[in-house]
Amino acid sequence: MQRSVRCVEINKMSKLSFEKSASRLPPNLGCTITWHNTDASAEPIHWLEGSSVAIVDPPRKGLHPSVINALQRVALSERKAFKAKSSLTKVKDEKRPWILRAREPAVHVDSTIMEESSGIWPETLIYISCGWDSFKKDCKSLISNEAWHLENAHAFNFFPGTDSIEVLAIFRRDSGIAQK
């Protein structure tokens, strides 16, 4: 299976920064990198499918409930339950122009054609948080049904003298083995 990185960003202004960063990558990466300007919470299952690792960097308010729900369902259910015919992945005819739905990449690095990788779901979740209270809430939601377990977390004080704490946490999908 081909390696790929799929970046989903709601802020369209980050495209220039992404392109600049991508231009610095070596040409022989052996993977495909795409950037999509959309709201991942509108179709979370679509963006999770085909990923072995998901990295989330939510706003201060934390992950959208639809993303939490999708991560819980992916972790607890049989993977077959989330084929593209799922009602969660149906593309809706959106009438509101401010709602973004961009399944096609706005930026594509590497000329390799991406293969569909259905049937693969995240085993690892990397959570980057700039909101301590929202991280605690999201962490509690993710581990509450034992679908995910918190493997590691580190707090960083990038802004001394403030109450701002950045958190980098790694969750693993529960393999059914009891954690201590």
Q: What's the Cα-to-Cα distance from 58 to each of 10, 61, 131, rounded to whole Å?
A: 10, 7, 9
CA distance 61 to 129: 10
163 is in an annotated binding site: no
57: annotated binding-site residue? Answer: yes
Rounded distance between C-alpha atoms, residue 117 and residue 133, angstroms: 35
Instruction: Report residue 100 as tokens.
Output: 């973004």
* Active-site hit among 7, 31, 130, 139: 130
Kindly report the number of other CB atoms within 10 A of residue 4's CB atom. 16
C-alpha dihedral, 83 to 121 to 12 to 158, nearest 10°: 160
- Rounding to the nearest 10 degrees, give the CA dihedral for residues 104, 110, 111, 116: -50
Q: Is 130 tagged catalytic?
A: yes
Report the alpha-carbon distance of residue 36 to residue 73 in Å, rounded. Answer: 24
The residues that are catalytic are: 130
Q: Detail the residues annotated as belonging to a binding site for S-adenosyl-L-methionine.
A: 9, 57
Q: Detail the residues annotated as belonging to a binding site.
A: 9, 57
